Amino acid sequence: MADLVAVLATTHHPFYYRTSQLPPEERPPFAEEWISKIATYRETLTRARPDVLVMVGSDHFHQLWLDNMPQFLVGKAPFYDANWENEIREFGMPKLLLKGDEELSAYMLREGLDRGFDLAFSNELRIDHSVTCPILTVRPEADLPIVPIYTNIFAPPLPKPERFVQLGRTIREIIDAWPSHLRVAVIGSGHLSLELGGPRQFGPTGPDPEFDYRAVEWISNGDIDGCLREVTLDSLHAPGNATHGFMDFMLMMGVAGHEKANHADHLSLFHTMEAYFTWYPNPHLVDPPLGGVPTIGATA
């Protein structure tokens, strides 16, 4: 059976790449701490030595559109071109070409369908920054094959938070049952409180820091039940009009299960809170073993 060696849940900030590429003298004051936290976070994946990455993200109206919007979609292609013209224009991100793992995609689709998720699929998926931001931060070599999974957190009607958690649990079951010798990491990206295109956008902090701190606690502690008690599809409007991206964090909590994160860290930026979490389902598969390398903000 395959080994699930790491589960990572992260915010995806499209300006990180550009910020990190600036000469030190041109970087904004928060850049050094941000870059340092990312370097530590990257190590949490490196030490898991994955062979393949399952990448959970959400298309931002790039390829998936309102004439045919899937709620959950699995990429099933040998390669994925990545980053779109208007992301390059707005964020300065590079174009990428990522390898796919068609075997795991096919298995994920078959098993997902059989386990109660009517997953859509795409044989020609162009990836956007919800997936490429984590690639550029935790695997900048972009050398591992991926299986992209897109969720709809963007175009109502949306699935409920419970459904995201259920899909996460199902993804975990499917990977655990995959007849393969490969080491798999699941990396998902979402938002904490976020406002885009509304009156509370781009403030000195995220639109709802209180929500952000509670969210960090839920995720750090694997408190799926507490999170589900307080978060509903309707309530997610209150912390900011783009906060439904938090449901991708809930999906990742489903993958990780009711476990405390082995690494949890966050950083308040001018309009959002960044947050980074890593779980190791089997501590014996991590190199060096858990506890060998202290990590900033680690909770276990």
Partner 1 sequence: MSKYLVNKFLYTVDRDHDLTERYRTDPAGTVAWWEVEMAGTLLNAIDAERTTWLSFTDAERDALVAHDHVALFEMGAHPFLTLTLWIAMFERDHPEPLAMQLDYAARLAHVTQPYPDITT
CB of 90 to partner 1, least distance (A): 6
Q: Tokens 């992260």 map to which residue?
A: 10
Least distance CB 66 / partner 1 (angstroms): 6
Based on CB atoms, which residue is closest to partner 1, 84 or 276? 84
Tokens of 103: 């075997």
Q: Is 196 or 290 the residue whose CB approaches partner 1 more closely?
A: 196
Binding site for partner 1 (CB under 8 A): 60-62, 65-68, 84-86, 89-90, 154-157, 196-202, 237-238, 241-242, 270
In terms of CB distance, is 87 or 265 closer to partner 1? 87
Integer angstrom CA distances of residue 75 from 54, 119, 207, 259: 10, 10, 33, 28
Q: In one letter, which amino acid is 246?
A: F
* Cβ proximity to partner 1, 233 vs 285, nearer residue: 233
Provide, rounded to whole angstroms, the least separation between the CB of residue 231 and partner 1: 16
Q: In what order do the strands lie in the sheet with 72-75?
A: 120-122, 72-75, 146-151, 52-57, 183-190, 3-11, 273-279, 263-268
- Smallest distance from partner 1 to CB 94, Å: 18
Q: Is 120 exposed, middle or buried (0-12, 13-18, 19+ CB in 10 A)?
A: middle
Distance in angstroms (rounded) separating the CA atoms of residues 280 and 79? 28
| Shortest CB 43 distance to partner 1, Å | 31
Cβ 262 to partner 1 shortest distance, Å: 33
Closest CA to 258 of 287, 231, 223: 223
Which tokens in the block code for residue 173? 């079951």
Which residue lies nearer to partner 1 by CB, 209 or 257? 209
Q: Which is nearer to partner 1, 210 or 270 (CB)?
A: 270
Rounded CA-CA distance 122/143 in Å is 21
